[in-house]
Structure 1
Amino acid sequence: MGLSNYTVEDFVLDPEFRKWVLHPNNKSNVRWDRYLEENPDYRENILLARKIVLHLEERHKQAGGLSESDKIDIWKNIKIGVGRKNSAQQDVLVVPISSEAILSKTAEKSQKWLSFWRYAAVLLFALALGLSWVFFGERKEEETVVTSNWQVYETPLGVKSTITLSDGSVVTLNSGSQIRFKESFTGQEREIFLEGEAFFVVARDTLKPFIVHAGGLSTQVLGTSFNIKAFKDEMTEISLVAGLVEVKEQQGDHREKISPGEGILSAPDGGNWKRRKIDVEYVTAWMHKTIVFDNTPFETAMRTLEKWYGVQIKLVNFKDKELKVTGKYQDETLKNILDGLGYGVRIDYRIKGKEVTIIFE
């Protein structure tokens, strides 16, 4: 990302960082998540920089800009200098594809606590940086450097991301999912290895087939759009929206071509195939921030919520393994969903940070 040796002030003055904090999108979430994974020591600087950016934005909203007295205070504080570290953690339950979700993901890696004088310094530093922001202006974005011939994109729990590949194909990754592929698709085929769930819109290239390996199956296309769900220890689901695909076993000879509106359901290792009709709206609901349970086993529904909100759910006194739930929730908080489930099932629940306990009465 080219941001080595960045200070808190550097992050605050970086236009792409401010854009991510104030107006996050899928692309910026993936970019900054990767940076945090590669540079965990910078997390405290980023936390403080984020707090400062949000503080300055709030001041502008409330006061319409900096007053003359603010500017005088700013210059005084620049001369005095303040501490630049802040280890306050962000405890987020519902992750609406935001910068906060990326920072929450790495919260457990930091064990330092914020002292009183540093907390006071945050506000002083915010004022000091306000004027320097105005004077120094925008900085040019730096390009990401690829250090190997493999590219890996991974979305943390609670985050969904869209990636445009070098051939023009577009991949939307669900939370807790990963794709990897050779840079620039070197070779005779465009091969993708998927763990989790993704929706593909493939750019047509008759000379270079597009192949996705996931859940013990390989799906080959020339140009089409389809969804693959292949989380570990769960059934593999391939759903075709448009075009034509051929699905085959990675460790066998079984293969089938499917048409739009059709899908393949198989065991996690690619065995026990079942061809079936699919509901495209149901299959792609996750791309529109919508959770759909359709006679879904309760434990399966809870695993979905864990991935969606980045939490861990513990079931207490759960005995009915045949219990199933139905419901549709668009852009809802976890609390609202659990309240909704409570209308049909006698449960109580507690949410403490990222730990959720559901108690059956």
Structure 2
Amino acid sequence: MQFNPSTEEDFLLNEHFVQWVMDPNEESNRYWAKWANENPDKTLMMRRSKEVILSLHLETFEMGETDNERILDSLLKHHQQSKEGLGRRGGFQVFMEFLLANRVAAVIAFFITFLGSMTYLLQPSVEQKDSKEIIWLSKSSKPGTKMSFHLPDGSLVKLNANSTIEFPEHFSDSTREVRLAGQAFFDVEHDEAVPFVVSAGDLKVKVLGTSFDVNSRPDRVDQKVALLNGRVEVITTDGIRESLSPMEMITYSKANKEMVKGNFDAEVVTGWKDGVIKFENTDFKEVFEILEGWYGVEIILSESVKFKGGLNGRYENEMLDNVLKGLAYTEGFEYRIDDKKVTIF
């Protein structure tokens, strides 16, 4: 989707712009240089926004768990208050006041709110594959973290927790192929002459330019492709083909080799990219699997704890403790958090 800012605030609230300023690389440099060339009337705003971000200095210090929780709570409250009342004094003024008053918290906010995490695993591992010696790169996200970046053609990728994507250092003139293990959201740059192909487990997704989500985790019994806009064709390794229109999703059973098409709730399937977890009559086993991946923890269930039915609920940028408090109240269990281990009893 084309980025069309009208104020400096739009730049500061764009996670991809912030990530480029804080941690530039060849791909993001190429993308933003192209964007600047195509939008010469906005380069002054772009430069000012970049200067604001670079003016922040993060001091190195040890922060206890209590301080960490306090800062995170403060950031979440500020985020909610900003959504409800920025109009009273002007969004950019409030945003700048917050940055000046909370330098350390502001830097943390950039990474937590816009990048998903400060600690993601970036692996620029280089492999030599096939006879043409194409250089393939890979990027991976740890459990409990997410990351976003641009591919060589400018297409946007948001990688969910515990996922890996491989792509060529330079796409060929005939195809743009990437390989996915896990879950990712793609916003593909349109190019009719060079199709974009995602190889994920038993599926291949072919597109020209569109936005879609692919969930192809090796430990799941099925694979899913959900289309937000545009049009894609999904092909299985055994030759089953299905075309998707906007807001349609296919679910492919690896065991039965069957593909089912239907509609989907965008927040349930793709809300993760915007910090939203939404459950719709979701089995509790799957609920806890999602929470493990989302927060990077291990959840241990006591044999005495039994659940009936499924869970309905929506959580936006919530800390794990707040999610568990709500579940414990409605389902009548207790829990204990010890670092990265959660015990439910």
Distance in 1 (CA, whole Å) between partners of 2:247 and 2:125 is 40
- Corresponding residue for 2:166? 180
- Corresponding residue for 1:226? 212
- Corresponding residue for 2:78? none
Quote how far apart the aligned CAs of 1:308 are: 0.8
Equivalent position SS for 1:191: strand
- Corresponding residue for 1:141? none
Determine if contact 1:230/1:268 at 8 Å carries over to the other structure: no
- Corresponding residue for 1:240? 227
Quote how far apart the aligned CAs of 1:150 are: 0.7
- Corresponding residue for 2:60? 53
Identity of aligned residues (%): 35
Q: Name the aligned partner's letter for residue 238 of structure 1.
A: V
Equivalent position SS for 2:257: coil
Q: Name the aligned partner's letter for residue 343 of structure 1.
A: Y
- Corresponding residue for 1:274? 260
Determine if contact 1:245/1:258 at 8 Å carries over to the other structure: yes
Check 1:223–1:269 CA distance in 2 against 1; reply closer, same or farther (3 A cut): farther
Quote how far apart the aligned CAs of 1:319 are: 6.2
Determine if contact 1:202/1:223 at 8 Å carries over to the other structure: yes
Q: What TM-score, normalized by structure 2, do the two folds share?
A: 0.63
From 150, 160, 178, the equivalent of 1:192 is 178
Distance in 2 (CA, whole Å) between partners of 1:356 and 1:145 is 33
Q: Name the aligned partner's letter for residue 154 of structure 2.
A: G
Equivalent position SS for 1:205: coil
Distance in 2 (CA, whole Å) between partners of 1:30 and 1:326 is 40
Q: Name the aligned partner's letter for residue 304 of structure 1.
A: I
Determine if contact 1:216/1:269 at 8 Å carries over to the other structure: no
Max radius of gyration: which structure?
1
The Cα offsets for residues 81-102 of structure 1, whole Å up to 9 and x where unpaired, read as: xxxxxxxxxxxxxx76343x34
Is 1:167 aligned to residue 153 of structure 2?
Answer: yes
Matching of residues 100-139 of structure 1 within 5 Å: 101-102=119-120
Q: How many residues align?
A: 241
Quote how far apart the aligned CAs of 1:288 are: 1.3
Determine if contact 1:30/1:154 at 8 Å carries over to the other structure: no
Distance in 1 (CA, whole Å) between partners of 2:159 and 2:305 is 34
Quote how far apart the aligned CAs of 1:146 are: 6.2
Determine if contact 1:202/1:224 at 8 Å carries over to the other structure: yes
Quote how far apart the aligned CAs of 1:187 are: 6.2
Q: Name the aligned partner's letter for residue 261 of structure 2.
A: R
Is 1:339 aligned to residue 325 of structure 2?
Answer: yes
Equivalent position SS for 2:334: strand
Check 1:26–1:195 CA distance in 2 against 1; reply closer, same or farther (3 A cut): farther
From 251, 273, 279, the equivalent of 1:293 is 279
Determine if contact 2:164/2:180 at 8 Å carries over to the other structure: yes
- Corresponding residue for 2:248? 262
In structure 1, the gaps of 5 or more residues are: 1-23, 32-49, 56-60, 65-94, 107-143
Distance in 2 (CA, whole Å) between partners of 1:317 and 1:212 is 41
Distance in 2 (CA, whole Å) between partners of 1:145 and 1:295 is 40
Q: What TM-score, normalized by structure 1, do the two folds share?
A: 0.60
Distance in 2 (CA, whole Å) between partners of 1:198 and 1:270 is 24
Quote how far apart the aligned CAs of 1:339 are: 0.7
Q: Name the aligned partner's letter for residue 356 of structure 1.
A: V
